[in-house]
Amino acid sequence: MTVNAVGRAAMSRRNIITGLIVLVPIPTLGKEPTAKAFLDEIYRHYLGSSTSGAKGIALTNAKVVRAYFTAGLASLIIDDRTLETTHGEPPALDSDPFVGHREWDISNLAIEVKGIGAFKATGTVTFTNDDKSEKIVLELQRTGNDWRVADIEWDSGSLRGAFRRKAVYDGEALPR
């Protein structure tokens, strides 16, 4: 084989390999979801009316709650639901935490996220609910590769604040 033939053979192999790399999609395993993608996934369930197609996210079991909230906040929500069902106590959280209401009719949804270092972010969600403009601020925390909600602030207060008020009312130690 001549030098020129060896060069063409090597060139052909390189071209084939390059072509395969371009044609074969590279899996995105290990790609970390963004805080914005996390909130987009949550709030897509809330567009529209809760009395028709927009069912929100049902926080019906511990696994679902832990998929959206930090460990500490998830424990508070789970304990609150347990007390409500087993002891008949009124819950500290009596509305959907992501919209701050039991019922909604959401349109004009906008989500902005600002990072605070690599492991924290603040999400600001604005929307129109029954012709009224609303704003919700979510404190987000990254756990491993996933994002979780550490607190939610509505016009009427915050999620952690609701649990603090209930603890004070019940004469218990304040949750952290």
pLDDT digits (tens, 9 = 90+) for 145-167: 999 999 999 998 999 998 876 55
pLDDT, residue 99, reads 96
pLDDT of residue 91: 78
Q: Which CATH class is domain 3-170?
A: alpha beta
Put simply, whether the predicted model's pTM sits higher than 0.85 gets the answer no
DSSP per-residue codes, 50-111: TTTT-------SHHHHHHHB-HHHHHHHHHHHHHHHHH-PPPS--SBTTTTBSS-EEEEEEE
**Ranges in the chain, pLDDT < 50:** 15-30, 168-169, 174-175
Q: CA of 47: how far to CAs of 105, 161, 162, 170, in Å?
A: 7, 26, 25, 36
pLDDT of residue 90: 75
How many angstroms separate the CA atoms of 176 and 121, rounded?
Answer: 19
Kindly list the domain boundaries of the chain, sorted by start residue.
Answer: 3-170
